[in-house]
Amino acid sequence: MSRAPFTLAVLRLILRLYPARFRARFANDVIASVRGELERAAPAGRAAVARVSASALLDALRGVIPEHQARRAPVRVGGGIGDDVRYAVRSLRQSPTFTMVALSVLALGIAAATTIFSVVDAVVLRGLPFHEHDRIAAVLEHNLQRPQSVGSTLPQNYLDWRERQQSFAHLAALNRITFYARNDGGGLDTLRGLRVTRDFFDVLRVQPAIGRALAAADEAPGAPRRAILSHTFWLQRFGGADIAGRTIELNRERWEIAGVMPRGFSYPVGSAQPTEIFAPLQFSAAERRRGGSRSYQYSVIGRLKGGVSLAQAEDEMKRVATAVDAANPGFNSLNPGGNVRVLALHELLIGRVRTWMLMLLGAVALLLAIACANVANLMLARASVRGREMGLRAALGASRWRLTRGLLVEGLILALAAASIGVLLSVWGVRLFKAWMPDGIPRVADIAIDLRVLAATIAAAVITGIAFGIVPALQGARPDLVASLHAGGRSATAGTGTRRLRGALVVIEVALAVVLIVGASLFTASFVKVARIDPGFDYRGILALNVGVPIAAAQYKEALQRGRPYVERMMAAVRAVPEVGPVEAVSGGLPLSGNRVTKQVTLPGRPAPAGDDAEMDTRVVTPGYLQLLGIRLIRGRYLSEGDRAGGPQVVLLNETAARKYWPGLDPIGQRIQLESHERTVVGIVGDIRHNGPEIPPAQEAYVPLAQEAILYATLVMRPPKAPSRVLPAVKAAIWTVNREQVLYTDRVTLDGYMEGLIAQRRFNMALLALFGVLGLVISAVGIYGVMAYLVSQRTREIGVRMALGASRGAVVRMVLTNSALLVAIGLALGCAAAWYTSSVARAFLFELDARDPRAFAASIAVLAAAALLATAIPARRAAGVDPMIALRAD
């Protein structure tokens, strides 16, 4: 028998000679002594002293003092939750490297998740801020030949709908208008206005906080001009003063202020550019009369009556529309009867961005899951090293639940601390998002870190803390007491189950990272394809400013007569500016701006075209406009200075129009009628993507400015210098003709318009690329941590191998093989998951297969390279182990 077992046997025999009461008191004293010894030994690093004290004395007590075993509950290691918190904080402070890495990874994941959730919550998840908002609907006309298109309606249709429908308690029409108001400096400010019918405020169930709402009398033609101000504009312009009986000058006319809307009210809801002036919508005589003006520019919203569903309202509105068209044959030729949709207003606002927003939320959830898996792996490694500590605490009376609770509390403290840092980062992130977000996203003004978002973040932090803490807690709460107390000077070595679990977490990290990186690759490739599309003209360096007849020209016919000479004077003034280059003009829609004017098409001697062929985008241009933009000539000639008023009426068509109207024939010299003017085709020019790189060209006509009456035009120039350098001089020249000409300078270049059209794709690409990079880095850190820990645990084994003749290359291969197996499994699972979920991304890709093998190959290559780099450092460290030092490690 060896000396140690014999000594223990003698100690047990002697203790049995004493009374049970003495033995119990002695046991308590020994346990208190061991506890004190451990507390003193740990900070000083005297692990050997602590090991000898614990193993010798506790083994002596084991099985000798049954009274003590029966009364272990009073012997407490620590106390309640407060003690767990203090112990966890102390433990984290004693492991600064682990704490900093875990906090950094979690804080980045939580910050990204909080930022994206605040955006999705404000834009998609929240209801509209109106009473019974789900009863508010939009009534839209749409083209049956393009089912996805929805649009506004004619004023004549709205008036008939309002009289005939029975589904809505209130039905309102509205359209945007720009007001001009003189500021204190004598210049003109532009104000965002909305013309609304009397039912508008009843539909929303919102009334002015000051004054009154609009009445039916305010809609009558010739009624006194009255306006309702937004609360923000009232404070800015009037400082919150009493506005009873006051007026405001709008468009050089006096308007009575009827009221002020409540604080916080905005329309469109949450818009970054909310309405400042609400004015009564007074339909003109032409807009009330069938056969008069046809202007598709009015939106219609309504509040459903009680018990009426959206489907029922849509069925009735289709019947009403059909009856209206039957009573007025031919008037609504572009959208014949029955083409009506009824959508919830909330759905209309967010329907087009919901899937996109939820996709971003899913991507950031993947990133947070990678972060959780990474921290769980770190905690597992730490739990393995702390195995002896857990064993001693269990030996001193701590129950399994107590150990589990302590480790869970440690995880929760780590998660909540990371959440605190993440929230601070997300405040900056939300501010950046709002500035960076593409135009047209609804409810941008509502995006903020509020109590609802904070509550969600705290809940996510708690769930995250439990998620990455539960497995290490369960592992650490089941220590092998004998192995732990006899561990000697070695660090505790993880068991097979723990090693497999750590490997599984690495596999999960890699698989989730594959999904993110594949998504980032697809969106990057899609953006590159869009950016490489030739729009058919050279938009770079083009400066464009809108000008129109003065505000005082109130009569339509007078304005038409004055429009062209006014634009020509503007062109002459700008051409006089040094270094501005050639100056041309276009009316009817600047390329990439989204504006268009269509005219009905008739081919003399042939049946009238139907459907989409019945109308054509028509632009009125100066002779050098097409050459300035670089639109190529296919056949015939460009427009020239000889195409004057009173001369032959001519027109240029693009290739799409030529193929559509004269397939297989030469269109030069053919006749075509646009509205009331019959013209001769003198040239065919190349197609341009007028509405952006993603929209195919439509049929298009160009007519000479000299042969058409206009109200406004856009001056177009390509200065040799940067547009921003000549813009001040150009504006000054325009103001020499009319000092009150209002110039919109928020977007004055075609480069700016193109940026706006591809902004959402760039935003998606950049955001998913950021998530992909973060996922890649976090996964690489996880792989490095696992392999570094593996090398440290197998240092003695590596030393033995090398002492027995193993080469450094063999050691490196051993480490790389262990890593390669985990990474290969993760890559395979990740590719399968990405393949399965690719349908989510399909709708957001441009001319790209969501399962493009190049994206998968690139993702595999990037992750494999990152994994190799993350494994190379531990492998090099393993190859550098000194066998003699490793063998003396114990």
Packing angle between helix 400-436 and helix 96-120, nearest 10 degrees? Answer: 50
For position 887, what pLDDT does the model report?
A: 53
Express each pLDDT in 688-717 by its tens digit: 998 889 888 989 999 999 999 888 899 999
Tell me, yes or no, whether 679 and 765 share the same domain.
no
Express each pLDDT in 93-116 by its tens digit: 887 878 888 888 899 899 999 999
What is the share, in percent, of the chain residues with pLDDT greater than 70?
A: 77
d(CA 236, CA 258): 17
The whole domain housing 328 covers 143-241+253-338
In a domain, 346, yes or no: no
Quick one: DSSP state of residue 413?
H
d(CA 690, CA 700): 9
Structure tokens, 587: 């009316």
**CA triple 385-390-391, angle to 5 deg:** 105
The beta-strand segments (E) located in 80-209 are 136-141, 168-182, 188-196
Q: Phi and psi dihedrals of 228, rounded to 5?
A: -115, 130
Tell me, yes or no, whether 839 and 866 share the same domain.
yes
Tell me, yes or no, whether 188 and 332 share the same domain.
yes
- Predicted confidence band at 68 (pLDDT cuts at 50, 70, 90)? very low
Q: 151-165, 453-467, 577-591, 800-814: lowest mean pLDDT where?
A: 800-814
d(CA 262, CA 205): 12
d(CA 733, CA 405): 76
d(CA 96, CA 462): 22
In a domain, 343, yes or no: no
d(CA 294, CA 669): 31
pLDDT average, residue stretch 399-420: 81
d(CA 85, CA 43): 19
Structure tokens, 6: 């014999």
AA letter at 358 = L
Is the distance from CB of 663 to CB of 655 less than 8 angstroms?
A: no
What's the domain count of the chain? 5
- Predicted confidence band at 379 (pLDDT cuts at 50, 70, 90)? confident
Residue closest to 790 by CA, chosen among 572, 538, 503, 553: 503
Tell me, yes or no, whether 64 and 97 share the same domain.
no
pLDDT average, residue stretch 674-680: 88
Q: Taking the CB of residue 132, how many other CB atoms lie within 10 A of it?
A: 12
Q: 139-148, 441-450, 739-748: lowest mean pLDDT where?
A: 139-148
Give the CA dihedral 795, 800, 801, 803, nearest 10 degrees. 120
Express each pLDDT in 476-516 by its tens digit: 555 554 544 444 444 445 566 667 777 888 888 889 999 99
Tell me, yes or no, whether 365 and 231 share the same domain.
no
Q: In this model, does residue 151 exceed pLDDT 70?
A: no
pLDDT average, residue stretch 753-759: 88
d(CA 47, CA 784): 28
Tell me, yes or no, whether 697 and 812 share the same domain.
no
Tell me, yes or no, whether 44 and 179 share the same domain.
no
- The SS3 of residue 524 is helix
pLDDT average, residue stretch 226-241: 91
d(CA 493, CA 248): 81
Express each pLDDT in 72-84 by its tens digit: 444 344 456 777 7
Burial of 234 (0-12, 13-18, 19+ CB in 10 A): buried
In a domain, 349, yes or no: no
Residue after which a domain boundary falls, among 312, 338, 364: 338
Q: Are strands 650-654 and 677-685 parallel, antiparallel or unpaired?
A: parallel
For position 885, what pLDDT does the model report?
A: 56
Residue closest to 808 by CA, chosen among 712, 727, 881: 881
Q: Phi and psi dihedrals of 616, rounded to 5?
A: -145, 140
Query: What is the residue-averaged pLDDT of the chain?
Result: 81
In a domain, 701, yes or no: yes
**CA triple 142-146-150, angle to 5 deg:** 30
Structure tokens, 1: 């028998």
pLDDT average, residue stretch 34-41: 54
Q: 92-96, 207-211, 231-235, 802-806: lowest mean pLDDT where?
A: 802-806
- Predicted confidence band at 406 (pLDDT cuts at 50, 70, 90)? confident
* Residues β-bridged to residue 228: 259, 278
Q: In this model, does residue 449 exceed pLDDT 60?
A: yes
Q: Are strands 615-621 and 700-704 parallel, antiparallel or unpaired?
A: parallel
Give the CA dihedral 461, 466, 468, 474, nearest 10 degrees. 160
Is the distance from CB of 411 to CB of 379 less than 8 angstroms?
A: yes
In a domain, 137, yes or no: no
Q: Phi and psi dihedrals of 491, rounded to 5?
A: -75, 150
Integer-rounded Cα Rg, in Å, for the chain is 38
- The SS3 of residue 324 is helix
For position 45, what pLDDT does the model report?
A: 47
| pLDDT greater at residue 872 or residue 347 | 347
Residue after which a domain boundary falls, among 338, 363, 393: 338
pLDDT average, residue stretch 373-382: 80
Packing angle between helix 750-793 and helix 345-385, nearest 10 degrees? Answer: 20
Tell me, yes or no, whether 521 and 599 share the same domain.
no
d(CA 145, CA 334): 11
For position 69, what pLDDT does the model report?
A: 44
Q: 282-291, 661-670, 760-769: lowest mean pLDDT where?
A: 282-291
Structure tokens, 716: 């177009």
Structure tokens, 349: 């606002």
Helices assigned H by DSSP within 670-746: 723-737
Task: Write the CA distances from 674 to 267, 512, 681, 700, 707, integer angstroms.
Answer: 38, 58, 12, 11, 13
For position 157, what pLDDT does the model report?
A: 86
Residue after which a domain boundary falls, among 748, 781, 813: 748
Packing angle between helix 808-842 and helix 795-803, nearest 10 degrees? Answer: 130
In a domain, 19, yes or no: yes
In a domain, 344, yes or no: no
Structure tokens, 686: 């190349």
Q: Taking the CB of residue 124, how many other CB atoms lie within 10 A of it?
A: 20
For position 27, what pLDDT does the model report?
A: 61
What is the share, in percent, of the chain residues with pLDDT greater than 90?
A: 29
d(CA 248, CA 237): 10
pTM of the model: 0.76
- Predicted confidence band at 221 (pLDDT cuts at 50, 70, 90)? confident
Dihedral sign from CA coordinates of 322, 328, 330, 333:
negative
Express each pLDDT in 181-199 by its tens digit: 877 666 677 889 999 999 9
In a domain, 135, yes or no: no
Is the distance from CB of 846 to CB of 760 less than 8 angstroms?
A: no
For position 434, what pLDDT does the model report?
A: 84
Structure tokens, 578: 């040094």
Express each pLDDT in 236-256 by its tens digit: 888 888 887 788 888 778 899
Tell me, yes or no, whether 817 and 791 share the same domain.
yes
Q: In this model, does residue 672 exceed pLDDT 80?
A: yes
Residue closest to 382 by CA, chosen among 793, 733, 64, 705: 793
For position 170, what pLDDT does the model report?
A: 94
Tell me, yes or no, whether 730 and 857 share the same domain.
no
State which H helix or E strand residue 585 sits in: strand 583-587
For position 229, what pLDDT does the model report?
A: 94
Tell me, yes or no, whether 328 and 368 share the same domain.
no
- Predicted confidence band at 662 (pLDDT cuts at 50, 70, 90)? very high
Q: In this model, does residue 18 exceed pLDDT 80?
A: no
Tell me, yes or no, whether 741 and 764 share the same domain.
no
